[in-house]
Structure 1
Amino acid sequence: MKLATPHAAPRPPARANATFSANLDAWRFILIVLVVLNHVLIMQEDVRAEGSALERGMVALTRAAVPALSVLSGYLLASSRRVRLLDLVGRKARSLILPFLVWNTAAVLLLLAANEVWHFWPDWDLARQSTYRLVNSLTAFHGAPGNAPLYFLRDLFLCFLAFTLLRRVVATPAGYSLVFALVLGNYAFGLDGRIILRDTIPLFFLIGIGLHLFPAVLAACARWTLPLAIGALAVLPAWAFGGTWWGEPSLLEIGTLTVFAALVVGLAQRLRPEAWLSDWGRGYSFMIFLSHWWTLRLLDQGLRAVGAPDAVFDALAAPLAVLVGIVLAQLVTLLPGSVAAAVSGGRVAPGRAWWPRLHEARS
């Protein structure tokens, strides 16, 4: 990435919108990699009790990736042309719910069947499954599914529906303020799990809508990139050395996530990503997100079976999860059209190999 001239005049709002939109694919890839790193950090140990200050700080940094992704999604909804609700439901069901059914529901059913034969995960034996846990693992109706990160797809689907219905309301400052107060109240009173599994997702989705509705705020994020970076560094010690932790609504948590999301928005306008990084964002990021949890779980079990130390998992997990996602995206291009669409949410088309284009972009 190349940094824009630091003393350049602030971009006018219209240009800020154009620059931000052009760089979203690259930043989507960066944020997905941060999501993978977060799950590597929290998978093997109780970082809160056993992790070092560096690990706790890294958890805080990488956990901010999902709210930042929610900001991007909200911005894209607000900047897209208006469509009928039923058309949106169909499109988002194909791009979000169908991949959820493939990578979670079908995968969990396959896992349960295989586990009944080989018993490699005793906790997943059907005899130990309550009806609640089994149904939730398959559908995420009230908690994280078997492929835990995919709750994000479920919540995004609900956000797209809800804010499409409210699009006219939030288009005015008064309406936006009212809806923002309601969504903030949902976060403040810890109502996550009643409808939305992670209550920060609709909050930051709405912030993303606001960036399009009020472009001066978008431009301000670019203008204040350096103070935002300083603020992000300033809050990390509270997570690294303090007794605080994620999960409970607090000013520290919402402030941290807001500063990091605003910093991403600012950097997405000030940094000019290389063409190949945008290609990777379009071609690989979603497949990495869909597959990385299973990759990490299988790697963890395999290394435990051979008695490998935790350090081996820490070193291999993130690069392997990214590599597996890239390879799977390539393989999906070989599938029939309807199958490729179901597996990738329509993001990877059959016969469209990404690697040659990326190779050309780098050279």
Structure 2
Amino acid sequence: MQRNEAEIRISILRFIMIFGVVVLHVPPHVPIAEIGPGAFDQLKAFFQSAVFRCSVPVLTVISGYLLFRAGLDRRYGALLRKKLKTLVVPFLAFNLPLVALAFLLQSGGDFAISYQLVPLDAATMLDAAFAFSAAPLNFPLYFLRDLMVLALAAPLLGWCLRHAALPGLAAALLIMLYDLGGPLLLRTEMLVAFYVGGMAALRGWNLHALDRFAWPALLAFLLAAAAMVAGRVENTTWLGLAAPFLVWPAASLLDGTRTGRWLAGMGRYSFFIFLAHSVVLLVAWMAWRHLAGGLPYPLFWAVAPFATVALLVALHRLASRHLGDPFHRLLGARGPAPRAVAG
């Protein structure tokens, strides 16, 4: 696969996967063990408890692939400068203001969210603001936090990839299986996915090799997701780790199509959607509960992801037009043109 073809597919998948993240976070969360028997309950679980659980592993593989393909693990100063700009700045810009707002609202009365910041507690504030040992207040941003940890470990991972790739993969799997990441990684399966992305970059994998199995790969993935819902399997780790090997070739079905070109073009909005979607969904959920009257929940669930993405795309365009460079700096210096940069 030519490099530009890989970048186009990456842009397509980034938008699809981040739309999937939005779907995952439409409230309320219902554990798979508690899903009801109705058709809507099954459909909701299919997407929220199975299909789009692949989003983070796929995005993590892409991030590892891009980092090691660029050789940043061998240029540590450049790596740190880049990740400070592309991960730390967006994390702080899209989390700390929410922490401050939540603290003010809880100081003035009852405001129930995932964190209770009043009375002030140092450990709670460290987690809410900086994801010290748990997901931050803007909880999807744990992904950026763990990517930063993986970037810091990139020189060690790069040495393993070049000199002991399979033992390194085995070590990553052991860390995941026995949860040996300690306080460093909130989701240890990201280490395995990141390492696999590095293997694809440094071991010369043919990214086009599985494309001829695109339809079987897509079918296998969907059947596996359906089986997990039918069996009420809560642990989606193995489906998530298998997903990149199924979703990547399945995405070849979009190569050269009008839909694929549109999705690739939408990739420019992906990161902003990721950073801001949880706030939009929370506001939408609160508004629906208090203002929607008799509108059925399935309607909210079906409309919320599309409305959230549409709103954030419009806000991105407005901010790009009127704020320009300062806005893009908050997004990690990601410019308005479509780019295949992950983290």
TM-score by length of 2: 0.85
Contact 1:332 1:340 in 2 (8 A): yes
CA displacement, residues 123-159 of structure 1 (integer Å, 9 cap, x when unaligned): 7554356443222011111111101100001111121
Partner residue, 1:256: 239
1:291 to 254, 276, 279: 276
Residues 124 and 168 (structure 1), Cα distance of their counterparts in 2 relative to 1, 3 Å cut = closer
Matched, 1:266 2:249: yes
Q: CA deviation at 1:238?
A: 3.0
Distance 2:158 2:277 in 1: 33
2:227 corresponds to which of 238, 244, 265: 238
Matches within 5 A, 1:172-183: 172=163, 175-183=164-172
Residue 103 in structure 1 maps to residue 86 in structure 2? no
Number of aligned residues? 326
User: Which residue of the partner structure matches residue 189 of structure 1?
Assistant: 178
After TM superposition, list the pairs within 5 Å mapping 1:1-363 onto structure 2: 15=1, 18-40=4-26, 43-51=28-36, 52-58=41-47, 59-82=49-72, 84-117=75-108, 119-121=110-112, 126-127=117-118, 130-172=121-163, 175-192=164-181, 194-216=183-205, 218-246=207-235, 253-272=236-255, 273-274=257-258, 275-281=261-267, 283-306=268-291, 308=293, 309-333=296-320, 334-335=322-323, 337=325, 339-348=326-335
Contact 2:115 2:128 in 1 (8 A): no
- For 1:123 and 1:87, locate their aligned partners in 2 and report how far apart those are by CA, in whole Å: 36
CA 1:44–1:185 in structure 2 vs 1: closer, same or farther (change >3 Å)?
closer
Pair 242,125 (structure 1): closer, same or farther in 2 beyond 3 Å:
closer
| Contact kept in structure 1, 2:218 and 2:247, CA below 8 Å | no
Measure how far apart 1:53 and its partner are.
2.8
Identical-pair percentage = 28
In 1, the alpha carbon distance for the partners of 2:178 and 2:209 equals: 30
RMSD of aligned alpha carbons: 2.5
Contact map agreement 2:58 2:193 (CA 8 A) in 1: yes
Q: Separation in 2 of the partners of 1:124 and 1:218?
A: 42
Alignment partners' CA distance in 2, 1:255 and 1:223: 23
For 1:123 and 1:23, how far apart are their aligned partners in 2?
Answer: 35
In the alignment, is the contact (CA less than 8 A) between 1:17 and 1:218 conserved in 2? no
In structure 2, relative to structure 1, the CA distance for the partners of 1:271 and 1:16 (3 Å cut) is farther
One-letter identity of the residue aligned with 1:139: F
TM-score normalized by structure 1? 0.81
Structure 2: unaligned runs, 5 residues or longer: 339-343
Give the SS at the match of 2:59.
helix
Cα separation, partners in 2 of 1:262 and 1:125, compared to 1, 3 Å = closer
1:312 Cα offset (Å): 4.2
| Shift in CA distance, 56/131, structure 1 to aligned 2, threshold 3 Å | same
Question: Which 4+ stretches in 1 moved above 4 angstroms?
Answer: 122-125
Post-superposition shift, 1:307? Answer: 5.5
Residues 205-226 of structure 1, C-alpha deviations (whole Å, 9 max, x = no match): 1111112233445333323333
Residue 179 of structure 1 and its aligned partner are, at CA, apart by 1.5
